[in-house]
Amino acid sequence: MAGVARRAVRWAGLGLLLGVLGTSAAAQTAGSKTIVLHGAGATFPAPLYKKWIGVFMSQNPDVSIDYQEVGSGEGVRRFLAQSIDFGASDGALTDEQMTKVAGARLVPATAGMVVLAYNLPGLGGDLKLSREVYVDIFLRRIQKWNDPRIQALNPGLKLPNLSIVIAARKDSSGTTFALTNHLSAINSAWRDGPGAAFVVDWSGRAMLARGNEGVAGLVKNSEGALGYVEYGFADRLRLPMARLQNRAGEYVAPNSRSGQTTLASNVRSMPENLRLYLPDPEGAESYPILSLTWLLLYERYPDQQKGAALKRFVTWGLTGGQSFSADLGYIALPPEVAALSRAALERIQ
């Protein structure tokens, strides 16, 4: 009986010790609770944002960030519904949308080029497309790759007697807006027709996919395809990209240098709300289709810890995070624009 009693005492002591340890562990867990941030929106900058998130979370284990690539239009919708902590869009909020959320803030985060990627095996050279020609391709006035107008621009290339199959976005897309805003700026038929929009009714004139990745995949797997995608997506899949004629009449290839030159030459002043579009950039060396992309933030966050963590993350993205831009196919913000973005963050609470 004495042995049984001693064992009972030992088990009781062990139970008490485990209870104390459990209470201590629970207290530690409560004291180091992870702050979870949810964002959604544009696919255009998604690879860069995911890189930022990965690096930032490794350096800040108290913060967990989830970003869903659902397209700019859906990101704006969720932001206006206040169902996420931050949104992302390649088309800045309109004045009307800004009034729907008290204290909505636009923060330029990066920039990128929209390229026309194509699939013509064995072409053996760079394809040039003039402003009039690529507008007419999207208007379906030009439907064959060996159309005389395309051949005249590319006398050294043997263009095939093949239909041009447009690869386009089916979702509400900031990339679509960047392209159509440019087409509207340079061509009245487009401006008075489809116009600048997040969604275009292609009415059977195009293969459709969701996201930049989806369109890039269509181009890669479809001979004769021509699709509009963010430069980084086309570059990662090694898709050929057309040299496009710019405002000065020069044919410019999309690459890191032309992107930086375009942004530096055209961002001279920013409006107070930081909503700046560049639908037809100036400069002999400028690439013609370039867009800023914005993070959408609330001025006040009911959870102050969330607001502080989000400011930490975005501030890091606008400083250290910019160093990842070039390798992923984006254009780092000029210092003066990054400074304005950081200043906008100061109003976030």
Q: How far is CA 154 from CA 54, 227, 247, 339, in A?
A: 44, 19, 19, 43
Least confident of 215-229, 260-274, 292-306: 260-274
pLDDT for 3 beyond 70: no
123 versus 349: the higher-pLDDT residue is 123
Sign of CA dihedral 84, 85, 89, 92: positive
The CATH code of the domain at 113-266 is 3.40.190.10
Average of per-residue pLDDT across 47-75: 97
**Average pLDDT for the chain:** 90
pLDDT in tens, 136-147: 999 999 999 999
Mean pLDDT over residues 299-303, rounded? 95
Say what the pLDDT of residue 32 is: 60
The interaxial angle of helices 46-59 and 304-318, nearest 10 deg, is 110
- CA distance linking residue 174 with residue 185, whole number of Å: 16
Q: Mapping DSSP to helix (H, G, I), strand (E, B) and coil, where does residue 251 land?
A: strand
pLDDT at 15 over 90: no
pLDDT in tens, 181-190: 999 999 999 9
Domain with CATH 3.40.190.10 in the chain: 35-112+291-345, 113-266
Given 2.30.110.10, 1.10.40.60, 3.40.190.10, 3.40.250.10, which CATH number is that of 35-112+291-345? 3.40.190.10
Q: What is the pLDDT of residues 261-283, one digit of tens each?
A: 999 899 877 899 999 999 999 99
| Per-residue pLDDT reduced to its tens digit, 86-118 | 999 999 999 999 999 989 999 999 999 999 999
